[in-house]
Structure 1
Amino acid sequence: MAQETTPPQVARQATETTNDLGGAIILLGTFGPQSDPQALLKLRGGKTETVSRGDTVNGQTVVAIEEGRVALARSGNAHWLTMPAPNS
C-alpha cells in the first residue's frame, strides 16, 4: 500500500490552512498492511486524523479501507472517499 511520493494535489490539500472544507472529509492517504490498513483523513477545521476500520469520524463509521479509498457509513448508507487525482 505504500506510495513512493505524495502526488502534488494531495500535498497541497494536506498542508492547506483552512477552517472550512465545506463539511467535506478529504482522504490524504492509505497505508499499512492489508490485514490492518489505516487511512489519514483531513477533517473540517484542518485537523488530521488516522483511522482504522470500525473507527468513527464525524458521526460516520469507517467500514472499509482499500488502497487509495475509504468507505464511510452512517444510518445504513455508505459512500467511498477517494484520493484526489494527481495533476499531470
Structure 2
Amino acid sequence: MKNFDKGTVIRTVLLFMALINQALILFGKPILPISEDQVTSLAETLYLAGSMIFTIVTTLLAWFKNNYVTDKGKLQKEVLKQKGLTK
C-alpha cells in the first residue's frame, strides 16, 4: 500500500479484523476454537461483549479519522502538509 500513512493502514486492518470476527461469530465459527461445553455462560457473554466492543471501537476510529485513501484525499493531505496543518 504505497502512499498510505501508517495510521490509515493500522485502522483499516483492525476494522477488517473486527468485521471478520463478527461475521464468524454470527455464523457460529468463532476464531478461538472453544467448544460450548468448555465455556460457561458468563465467559461466553464476556467474549461476545468484548468482541462487540472491539468492533464498535475500531469502526468508530476508522470512521472518524482522516484516512487519505482517495486521490483527492491525498492531495488534501499534501496541501495540509505544505501549510503546516498536519503532524
Verify same fold: TM over 0.5: no
Q: Which has the higher helix share?
A: 2
Structure (1 or 2) with the larger CA radius of gyration: 2
Q: TM-score scaled by structure 2?
A: 0.27
Higher relative contact order (CA 8 A, sep 6+): 2
Q: TM-score, normalised by structure 1?
A: 0.27
